[in-house]
Structure 1
Amino acid sequence: MTQLFLTKTSFTSGELDPELYGRIDVRAYDEGAAALRNVVVKTSGGVVRRPGSRLLAKIDGAARLLPFDDRSGGDILVLGPFSLSVVRDDVVVQQGVVTPWSTDQLHEITWTRIDRAILVCHPAVEPRLIRSGDDGIWALQRWTFDTSDDETLGPASLQPYARFVGHEVALQAVAAGRSPEAIVPAGLPVELRASAPVFRAGHLGSIVRIRQREIRIVNLGADPAFAEGLVLQPLVDGRTTRDWDEQMFGAARGWPVAVTQHQDRLVLGGNHDAPDRLWFSRTGRPFDFETGEGLDDQAITFRLRADGLHHIRQLVPGRRLQVLTSRGEWIVSGTPLTPANIQVDLQTNIGSPVDRQVSALEVDGATMFVGATGRDLREFLFTDTEQAFQAPDIAILSRHLMRDPVDMAFDPLRRLIAIVRGDGRLATVTIDRNANIVAWSLHETEGAWRAVMAENGRLTFLVERSGGTMLEVWDDELHLDCTVTRRADAPSTTFDAVPELAGATVMVLADSDLLDERVLDAADIELSHPASMVAVGLPFTHRIEALSVARGSGQGSDLDPLYRPVRLTFRVLDTAHLEADAGRGLERLVDRDAATGPLSGDIRQRAYGWRRGFAAAPWKIVQREPKAFSLLCVTTEMKVNS
């Protein structure tokens, strides 16, 4: 009989997809686990109980989080159905601001910051600027474009214009009682006659241009080839011409799908009728889209031409502008970008989801984005070996955890990508590209995560719970969810009620030690003994399960060796509680209170029973106690039948 020692020093392959349980030949099997639930993998290799969360506010119906940072710390803009709330210094300072977006539409918005405002775009809603005044009060306003200063022709809107019908379609502006050869002065009503159906209901109030001169549509008839207009700039004549266009964005053709800023230009991507067109504003003037004579600083526009139609989904600024579409990933380059030197190239053919906007992330120079299938997380970057952009899938080891993503954010301090799933659970990815670490784990809570935001070293969430939608922030010092803390100047047995958690089963901590678990009512919190501080929150359970043992020898690899664990050694760091199952159920190995403090060192446990096969894992750890836990490595001493 042979004695073996198997030491697991790293969990940096994360929770492995069950489809990989047969790959005992790859390193990921040695560095992975069968289950990593409510724990976070550290880049050093160990795992820790995930942070608990601190309740900031209850904001019913909230669905999306927008960060706005400044030198004083910044605000959190919380968007719900047709409403906006503002959180500053963890306090709600403004509520009930009316917005135009429904709950479903909030999952398709994109945004960019312009000075003291955030421009928010949705393909079915006119863009809005959410602007902060000097007094810190936020308000919405419609976007407006710059106007020209032409004293001869009068002011003109410098918005984007495009042609949406064939170039053979002609248009005529007919002024009653005037010859077609005569000038049509500004302010005169005209009848617009097209050679083919052009006008639709959304054109009412929009602008068309004939030979670069503006006409506003003021009335529509039953015939889509006719409309009534008001001349805004004098027309050269009233003759039929093919030299005409119309405003790019509006109710008729749709609003921008994607927005960002790149090289001091505002970039707008796609709409309903031109899903593959990009617009770049004039340099330094985000609302001037006049292409003019093609000077270096003037606006730029072009379409993404390829074999198939590419619907623009996201715009990602960086050293080069990255354009993510429904069918592939493009790079727009030029230093600086000018109408003369701009270059656009299709790089990869992964695609992005078309039914939602899951914002791409920048991580160590690579762009992380959700692939079109919704089951892959892609790392888009330039590789020196191939001298080309590539987009490998970093979810390949944990495909079972990458399901229905609806929101994601990157926390650079924890090196953690947080991915909110449609089922309300949270997947996290510990990532360090330089060390080749990609470790997935899954998190569950008493409720459902709905949105996430990373800003100023914090992960902030919207969580739908039985008491409503809560705004919460992860806190490494907490081990309960939706935690509310009450303090007293002198030890007391009575603390103020926590109405947000009324009716929920909570754990109560008094001076950092667990007092009891109870169903919380709406009354004040009563303690059995005086305390200076009480914390109330929702418990969660973390779980770590080892993969089954596979043995290699000179004769090859054995998937199911017959073995008997003798002893387990858990090396822990700053751990206050540890419960492990080595074959006879969970045993409490460490349980420290606030007075004794956490433990660092080796914890040993006797193991029992011969084991064999897929389901016979050597150990697992399960903990519901709201106490610190950090596992560095595990050694399994075993006897193997030779």
Structure 2
Amino acid sequence: IYDDGTLIKDLTAPWDFYALDKLQYAQRFGTIIFVHPDYRPEILKKTGDDFEITQFDFERNDADMTENIPFMKFDDATGVNITISSNSSGNNYATFTTNKDFWTQNNVGSIILLMDRQWIITEYVSPTVVYAYTNGPYSIPSAAVSDWFESAFSARRGWPCSITFHQDRLIFAGSPSWPSGVWMSCVGRHNNFSVGTGLDDESIFITLLSQQRQQICTVVSSDNLQILTNVGEWAISSKPLTPSTVDIKQHTSVGSVASRYLPPQKIEGATVFISAGETDIRELSLDQLGENYNANDLCTAAKHLMRGPIDLSYNSTTHQLFVVMSGGEMAILNQNSALGISAWSQYKTNGQFKSVATIDGETYVVVARQNNFYLEKFSDTALNDAGTYGFSFTAAALPLRASGHNAKMLKIRKISARVLNTKTLFINDSRAKLPNSIYDDASPGFSGDVSVNLLGTQRNCINAPWKISSSEQLPSTILSITTYGYYTV
């Protein structure tokens, strides 16, 4: 943990390195709750000048010490009946015997809701037998029990995949065993997920249903509660959100990445996310009537930069969206709707970008250099004495065959380029002649027409008829290209 660039504390994380790709979190004041499908939720809390990590616990009822945890009937528990018998451990213990193989070692510690009681599985005996404990004496039923439920989250069933806060409710969404479920806590009681009797401030549970299997990737608290799944984008628009007024709808069918967590970013009132195919960056925003969402593609002209995104972060101060790619480079979107600006660029470094985050207008990156990892940040004031950066650019025309005229032979007499403040230019790999005076430091460069003549005849009409390029560290601005010649079909 850093404070103004100074390391103030190291904490041992409960997750292993390979779990980081799916780790999600939500922050409220000085508390951050982390969720992962294979780990119990954890809380990072700041107390005074100290920090600590503790497990997330569901609120308990003082009267009987039961937990306010959601319960489910999972598909593989259908048709499983439990016969209850006494246990030598005491009056509060029982032996659960099922009519077919069901129990596993991972059931130990989980909670079962049976006969209006919560039972904690204390010991695994066999696939059909476990021991359980309940708080208080009980009566043994005369027949096997079929009406029973498991806690929604456990070592066997997995844990929440995504999290956010919305309308003073803690939202858990998706789990390995119930990927389309959304669990919402009681209002103001973020550890209480008991559905109770359906009062307005009590917890809510819903399942996304459609013709396609919905796997929730993440949830976003915006003007509405947005739910991004592997095949579409949903929204709950209820205000206020109560058990009796849940208005949920699927708006678009783009889908998000499910294999890892790519945090959606809020940009100028819209939610920006990576598409399921990892080739688009979509902007989820309401239409002019404020009723339906659209998912516009922000990188239509920059598909070549989308090469396996692994992380992203938005700096609202500089209006820049940073997207880290698996190859170690970074694509940057400069977005400012008020000025009509939407432009892409690419950053490379001596090493590989691995992760990015933005805090208080500062953009931080994790960079791998020579088998080591470094935490670095971008600076507008850092100076580099006589620094250089090698680069090149190329622009080319469409081939003549693209016109549909089936060209077979091409003769080009001249290619002319109209330039502005230019000091370097290659046309079809031939250097264009520019006045010597423009190379003075005080000169802005040449503005006007430059050309290359006598380019000959060619029968290859599949390649581009002209190409503009340069690899020199000098300015070059092309306003237009004119080609003189003819072709035959």
Task: Verify same fold: TM over 0.5.
Answer: yes
Name 1:106's counterpart in structure 2.
20
- Contact kept in structure 2, 1:214 and 1:233, CA below 8 Å: no
Q: Does 1:89 align with 2:7?
A: no
Counterpart residue number, 2:52:
139
Aligned to 1:530: none
Residue number in structure 2 paired with 1:61: none
Partner SS for 1:302? strand
Q: CA deviation at 1:168?
A: 4.2
> 2:207 aligns to what?
303
Note if contact 1:193-1:227 (Cα within 8 Å) is conserved in structure 2: yes
Correspondence for 2:241 among 332, 337, 350: 337
Q: What pairs up with 1:274-293 in 2 under 5 angstroms?
A: 274-293=178-197
The structure 2 residue matched to 1:232, chosen from 101, 124, 135, is 135
1:94 counterpart SS class: coil
Secondary structure at the counterpart of residue 19 of structure 2: helix
| Long gaps (5+) in structure 1 | 1-85, 178-184, 481-508, 515-538, 572-577, 593-598, 624-628
Are 1:549 and 1:560, in contact at CA under 8 Å, matched by a contact in 2?
Answer: no
Distance 1:385 1:354, change over 3 A: same
Letter in 1 for 2:44: I
Q: Give the partner amino acid of 1:584.
A: R
1:378 alignment partner AA: R
Distance 1:372 1:637 in 2: 38
Change (3 A) 1:630 1:292: farther
User: Which residue does 2:421 correspond to in 1?
Assistant: 570
Question: 1:394-420 CA distances to partner (integer Å, 9 max, x unpaired)?
Answer: 222222211211001112233221110
Q: Aligned to 1:610, which of 449, 453, 457?
A: 453
Q: Distance in 1 between matches of 2:38 and 2:347?
A: 34
CA distance in 2 between counterparts of 1:331 and 1:457 reads 29
Q: Which secondary structure does the structure 1 equivalent of 2:282 belong to?
A: strand
User: Relative to 1, partners in 2 of residues 1:246 and 1:611: Cα closer, same or farther, differing over 3 Å?
Assistant: farther
Cα RMSD of the aligned pairs, angstroms, is 3.4
Partner Cα distance (1:394, 1:361) in 2:
13
- CA gap of 1:139–1:110, structure 2 versus 1, over 3 A, is same
CA drift of 1:385 comes to: 7.5
How far the C-alpha of 1:200 sits from its partner, in A, is 1.6
Whole-angstrom CA distance in 2 between matches of 1:148 and 1:156 = 5
2:336 to 432, 435, 460: 432
Q: Which runs of 5+ in 2 are unaligned?
A: 456-462
The match for 1:170 is 81
User: Given residue 415 of structure 1, which amino acid in structure 2 is its aligned partner?
Assistant: H
Shift of 1:569: 2.7
Q: CA distance change for structure 1 residues 234 and 545 in 2, over 3 Å: closer, same or farther?
A: farther
Equivalent residue runs for 1:192-203 within 5 Å: 192-203=96-107
Partner of 1:449: 353
1:261 corresponding residue in structure 2: 165
In 2, distance between residues paired with 1:236 and 1:433? 67
Equivalent residue number for residue 243 of structure 1: 147
Tell me how far apart the structure 1 counterparts of residues 199 and 153 of structure 2 sit (CA, whole Å): 23
CA distance in 2, matches of 1:560, 1:280: 70
CA distance in 2 between counterparts of 1:610 and 1:94 reads 68
CA distance in 2, matches of 1:560, 1:357: 54
CA distance in 2: counterparts of 1:546 and 1:474, whole angstroms? 30
**Which segment drifts farther, 281-290 or 123-132?**
123-132
Alpha-carbon distance in structure 1 between the residues aligned to 2:328 and 2:358: 18
Measured in 2, the distance between the counterparts of 1:345 and 1:566 equals: 53
CA offset at residue 478 of structure 1? 3.4
Do residues 584 (structure 1) and 421 (structure 2) align?
A: no
Within the alignment, does 1:161 sit opposite 2:71 as a pair? Answer: yes
Q: Is contact 1:281–1:298 with CA below 8 Å preserved after alignment? A: yes
The 1-side partners of 2:440 and 2:444 are apart by 14
Residues 616, 220 of structure 1: alpha-carbon distance in 2 compared, 3 angstrom cutoff: same
Are the counterparts in 2 of residues 216 and 229 from structure 1 also a CA contact under 8 Å? yes
Cα contact 2:185–2:192 (8 A) shared by 1: yes
**Counterpart Cα distance in 1 of 2:412 and 2:225:** 53
CA distance in 2, matches of 1:190, 1:406: 49
Contact 2:236 2:248 (C-alpha < 8 Å) held by counterparts:
yes
- Aligned residue type for 1:541: G
Could you tell me which residue of structure 2 aligns to residue 78 of structure 1?
none
The residue correspondences of 1:20-99 to structure 2 (distance < 5 A) are: 86-95=1-10, 97-99=11-13
Structure 1 residue 451: Cα displacement: 0.4
Mapped partners of 1:259, 1:192: distance in 2: 34
Q: Which residue of 1 aligns with 2:390?
A: 541
Task: Tell me how far 1:543 sits from its aligned partner.
Answer: 4.0
Per the alignment, residue 494 of structure 1 pairs with none
Q: Under a length normalisation based on structure 2, what TM-score does the superposition of the two structures give?
A: 0.84
CA distance in 2, matches of 1:214, 1:301: 19
Contact persistence 1:275–1:312 (CA under 8 A): yes
> CA distance change for structure 1 residues 143 and 615 in 2, over 3 Å: closer, same or farther?
farther
TM-score calculated relative to the size of structure 1: 0.65
SS at match of 2:201: coil
Q: Deviations over 1:127-163 (max 9, x none)?
A: 211222211x32211111111132xxx2211122212
Per-residue CA deviations over 1:59-83 (Å, capped at 9, x if unaligned) read: xxxxxxxxxxxxxxxxxxxxxxxxx
Contact 2:392 2:469 in 1 (8 A): no
1:298 to 1:630, Cα distance in 2 relative to 1, 3 A: farther
Task: Determine if contact 1:328/1:352 at 8 Å carries over to the other structure.
Answer: yes
Q: Match of 1:90, as an amino acid?
A: G
Say whether the 8 Å CA contact 1:110–1:257 is kept in structure 2.
Answer: yes
Distance in 2 of aligned mates of 1:585 and 1:477:
37
Amino acid at match of 1:157: E
Per the TM alignment, residue 630 of structure 1 is displaced from its structure 2 partner at its CA by 9.0
Q: Is the 8 A contact 2:424 2:475 kept in 1?
A: no
How far, CA to CA, are the matches of 2:318 and 2:472 in structure 1?
Answer: 23
Deviation at 1:278, TM superposition (A): 0.8
Q: Distance in 2 between matches of 1:175 and 1:243?
A: 19
Which AA in structure 2 matches 1:229?
A: A
Query: 2:440, 2:177 → 1: CA distance?
Result: 64
Which fold has the larger relative contact order, with Cα–Cα distance below 8 Å and residues 6 or more apart in sequence?
1
Take 1:129 and 1:585, find their aligned partners in 2: how far apart are those partners?
63
Q: Counterparts in 2 of 1:254-403, with a 5 A limit?
A: 254-384=158-288, 388-403=292-307
Q: Matched residues in 2 for 1:440 and 1:363: separation?
A: 15
Map 1:447-486 onto structure 2 (within 5 A): 447-466=351-370, 468-478=372-382
Find the aligned partners of 1:346 and 1:286 in 2 and give their Cα distance.
Answer: 26
